[in-house]
Amino acid sequence: MRRLIGTAAALVLLASPALAQGAARQGFTVSFGLGAGSAGISYEGLTSDRLTGASGYLRLGGAVSPSLIIAGESHGWTRSEGTITSNVGYLTAVAQWYPQPAGGFHLIGGLGFGAITEADEDPAGSELEAVGGALQLGMGYDVRMSRNFSLTPYVNFLALGGAEPKLDGVGQGGSLSANVLQFGLGFTWH
């Protein structure tokens, strides 16, 4: 991961300012990113230790102005340990805002839904799942590599709440919540 962050920092320093000038955001945009994430889960006041795992996103949208993109995003986090596989996923509608239209720095905010699944591959084979409302906050920086392509280091915080857990399809009552802090490198066409 240190190598990924170091590479992203070097690209920011080496990117030509001339690439950013005159490269307006317009029309359709697509972006995906890969990295790592830290997830925490709580249920009725009991909070788990934060766990690290692989994380990523996919964004499809369009520029409504040079400083604003409206898009849909899908985020995922996963971790396997022993016979247990944990997943947290989000589907959000987002607004991506560039304070300086010609700059690469942007802020992201969104609302949507999130889901948690935890499956045990033990011979008994049980599965816990929960779905609830979600909130997303994030930021990134587009490092222009060409007129229509950028490398995008990013950080996102996603949270879901109000989810009733179901164990093998049977409601357990109470409210489960989860959050994921993710960071990585995105590949953006705009």
Could you say which DSSP state residue 23 is in?
A: -
- Of the two residues 9 and 179, the one the predictor is more confident about is 179
Residue whose entry in the numeric block shows the structure tokens 């040079």: 66
Whole-model pTM: value is 0.82
Domains in the chain: ranges and CATH: 2-189 (2.40.160.20)
Q: What is the pLDDT of residues 41-69, one digit of tens each?
A: 888 888 888 999 999 999 999 999 999 99
Using an 8 Å Cβ cutoff, are 112 and 134 in contact? yes
- Alpha-carbon radius of gyration of the chain: 18
Contact predicate 106/73, CB 8 Å: no
- Find, among 160, 183, 147, the residue nearest to 18 by Cα: 147
- Residue with structure tokens 């690290």? 52
Position 160: which residue type?
A: L
Cβ-based burial of 36 (10 A; exposed 0-12, middle 13-18, buried ≥19): middle
pLDDT in tens, 124-170: 778 889 999 999 999 999 999 998 999 999 999 999 998 888 888 88
Vertex 151 angle, CA 149 and 18, to 5°: 60
pLDDT digits (tens, 9 = 90+) for 99-113: 999 899 999 999 999
Among 154, 156, 164, 166, smallest CA distance to 135 is for 156
